[in-house]
Amino acid sequence: MGTQASGPRITLSYRSLEWIGGVDGHLRLLDQTRLPEAVDYLDCRSAEEVWDAIRRLCVRGAPAIGVAAAYGAVLGCSRREPLRWEDVEQICAYLKTCRPTAVNLGWALDRMLRTAQRCLTEGSGTSGRMALPASLLREAQAIEQEDRETCQALGRNGAELIPDGGAVLTHCNTGALAAAGIGTALAALFAAWEQGKRFTVWVDETRPLLQGARLTAWELHQRGIPAAVLCDHAAGQLMGAGKVQVVIVGADRIAANGDVANKIGTYGLAVLARAHGIPMYVSAPASTFDLSITGGWEIPIEQRSAEEVSVGLGRRTVPEGVEVYNPAFDVTPAEWISGIVTERGIIAPVNEARIRERLTT
């Protein structure tokens, strides 16, 4: 599998989510809407609460919302008696609707569905239904644990791309807050730092919700890695001044041809990086690839509310009556990406043949 990390294991002092208790337990989320001002937790005891927490971005990041949704399915199923196949189907279908772009959500919920099916088929009648909640919890915990291992491997594989002595630019948040494990793109920085490499990190603040400023800067600061936050549109000037050696970002969905849907702004960064001859890498687990779609044009892009831009920071900044354009993601063409870091190694150049070779063999 290549997911068994052999390098040093990175441990962090915080986690984005945690299952508390047994089959009748609940999901505890680090409420990311409150960072960096407060480290608060949110306890979710129903599928609806998880749906709402994902929608409101209390938990976000493609791998993390996959794990959170799996636990949401556990919560949705744990208090139904009798629990039927139709109920599981309905709960998973419901949870899939909370956000459209990240494919990890559907991927994790499909695993939960397959687990339910297997449990109901293997157990006979009542015994299968009785075993179902425990089976679902085990599967959600397996998804979480696999994500932890995957993130370690992403860190180890990505670390080799990080220069010793240079500067790295990143966008949005791709650390431990975006996953169950230590993250995707940011994991590479954690691992490189652990290896003794020294560098600074330019952190795009990432409007409108400032996941870079609020979350990535917080994570790097916790780890003692020097970081400087910039307004997103200052990235070009930095590149022009020779102050960026590599760009590394995450992904919310990657098409079979390698086109990458990621936080809005990634497309522009790729154009800038190309124009300045700076390598730009994407880091994502295999679960972020959607080989069922040909290219990025098929990826549904979530449009989020105008209020995130117009009043999101406490005061009205866009006049009443003026429209706001607020897509959450954009799609970067495969040919502009220098390589994609996965838990199974780095895919470069980025094209369908290399992707299928790396992910399916």
> Shortest approach of its own copies to residue 13 CB, angstroms?
15
Residues that bind its own copies (CB under 8 A): 36-37, 202-208, 210, 213-214, 217-218, 220-221, 226-238, 240, 264-265, 267-269, 271-272, 274-275, 309-310, 313-327, 330-331
Write the DSSP assignment of 219-277 as a string of letters: HHHHHT--EEEE-GGGHHHHHHTT--SEEEE--SEEETT--EEEETTHHHHHHHHHHTT
Shortest distance (Å) from residue 151 CB to its own copies: 22
Alpha carbon 177 to its chain's center: 8
Q: State how far the Cα of 299 lies from the Cα of 11, in Å rounded to an integer.
A: 34
Q: 79 or 221, CB closer to its own copies? A: 221
Q: In whole angstroms, what is the distance from residue 201 CA to residue 33 CA?
A: 23
HEC string for 10-46: CCCCCCCEEEECCCCCEEEEECCCCCCCCCCEEEECC
Backbone angles phi, psi at 3, to 5 degrees: -95, -5
Token output for 72 = 């949401």
Sign of CA dihedral 197, 202, 208, 213: positive
Q: Which is nearer to its own copies, 37 or 86 (CB)?
A: 37
How far CA 311 is from CA of 206, 213, 305, 315, in Å, comes to 16, 18, 10, 5
- Give the residue with the Cβ less far from its own copies, 121 or 237: 237
CA separation, residue 333 to residues 59, 113, 163, 254 (Å): 27, 32, 25, 10
Nearer to its own copies, 23 or 301 (CB): 301
Most distant CA pair in the chain, distance = 68
Read off the amino acid at residue 149: E
Minimum distance from CB of 260 to its own copies (Å)? Answer: 13
- Shortest Cβ distance from residue 81 to its own copies (Å)? 44
CB 236 to its own copies: min, Å? 3
141/200 with CB nearer its own copies: 200
Q: How far is the CB of 183 from its own copies (least distance, A)?
A: 17
**Residue from 58, 40, 67 nearest 144 by CA:** 67
Q: Which position among 252, 259, 290, 330 bears the catalytic label?
A: 252
Quote the least distance from Cβ 261 to its own copies, whole Å.
11
Whose Cβ is closer to its own copies: residue 49's or residue 205's?
205
Among left, alpha and beta (phi > 0; psi -120 to 50; other), residue 26 is beta
Which structure tokens are listed for 139? Answer: 């599967």
> Quick check: is 252 catalytic?
yes
Task: Closer to its own copies by CB, 6 or 322: give it.
Answer: 322
Which residues are identified as catalytic? Answer: 252
